[in-house]
Amino acid sequence: MPEPITQAEYWNGDVGTRWADMQAELDRVFSPLTASLLDGAGLAPGERVLDIGCGCGETALLAAARTGPGGAVTAVDVSRPMLARARSRPATGAAITWIEADAQTHPFAPEHDVALSRFGVMFFEESRAAFANIRRALRPGGRLAILCWRALSENPWVSVPRGAVLSVVPEPAPSPPGSPGPFRFADGDALVALLGEVGFASAAVAPIDHPVAIGADAEEAARFSATVGPIAGLLREIEDPALHERAVAALRRAMPAERPVSLGAACWLATAVNPG
């Protein structure tokens, strides 16, 4: 049996390239959730921000604008394709330092006022080690604010296309508990407990619910789901072209007739403080 690929290998392969190519669409789809994260982080002018799993740079760029010329943003990701896209985008406000690194192990200076992440923390190989390292990157009193998905059943933007594809192909074997993946922290209480175990104080989660517009019409929504949504990996594993087309056709049929196509999204906004 082949060894499973690492997260760095995964995000530096075809997946990272596709996400970089669809940067503008991804940022548009997730914009209401991104706003909830930044509001929850409570960024102030002059603050030093650490963006974990910065991807194509949207949260880092918005954090730079909010913290202004007196602030500073350090943006970290393992994906070269997405970082290349991030570096190519115009920035205003705080200076941004883009770093290709694994936030689980990178030796950050303990100087940041805020560490934030939009859907990046679910993919660490070792969550406990990663959150402990992020806490060490914060000054005493520094804040953590992260977005992560709640359960699959609470996220129609994933469950609707997934159900459509699984009407055509068998359901894959589940990943082992605790494996990297989008719904790793669906249990908010477990996430709060984990943050407390690595030394954070005042850890809490708040539900964020918002529809996301995944396409102007059913065709565009199906393309989005098939390209960058969590269902994309399942579609890539279909080797039979005819079966693949049947699955994509089922995906199109499952999309609501409304324009634009909006489906519900459910996240946790997790916050905590480094007591020092």
3-state secondary structure 214-226: EECCHHHHHHHHH
Task: Report the percentage of the chain scoring pLDDT > 70.
Answer: 99
The domain segmentation of the chain, as residue ranges, is: 7-152+176-211+266-273
DSSP labels for 32-51?
HHHHHHHHHHT--TT-EEEE
DSSP state of 76: E
Instruction: Give the Å distances, CA to CA, from 73 to 1, 86, 175.
Output: 42, 13, 34
Q: What is the structure's pLDDT at 1?
A: 42
Kindly compute the dihedral angle of the four CA atoms of residues 61, 66, 72, 76, in this order, to the nearest 10 degrees. Answer: -40
Query: What is the pTM assigned to this prediction?
Result: 0.94
* Residue 199: CB atoms within 10 Å: 14
pLDDT at 83 over 90: yes
pLDDT at 121 over 70: yes
Q: What is the structure's pLDDT at 61?
A: 98
Express each pLDDT in 226-271 by its tens digit.
988 778 888 888 888 999 999 999 999 999 989 999 999 999 999 9
Superfamily holding 7-152+176-211+266-273: Vaccinia Virus protein VP39 (3.40.50.150)
pLDDT at 193 over 50: yes
Residue type, 270: A
Q: What is the structure's pLDDT at 88?
A: 98
CA distance 1 to 20: 31
Contacts of 168 (CB under 8 A, 6+ apart): 243, 246, 247, 250
**What is the mean pLDDT of the segment spanning 10-17?**
91
pLDDT at 2 over 60: no
Do you find a cis peptide bond into 180, omega within 30 degrees of 0? no
pLDDT at 136 over 50: yes
Query: In sequence order, what E strands does the chain have?
Result: 48-52, 72-77, 95-100, 112-118, 138-149, 201-215, 261-273
Q: Which of 165-174, 209-218, 257-266, 267-276 has the lowest mean pLDDT?
A: 165-174
Positive or negative, the CA dihedral 181, 37, 158, 56 is negative
DSSP state of 28: H
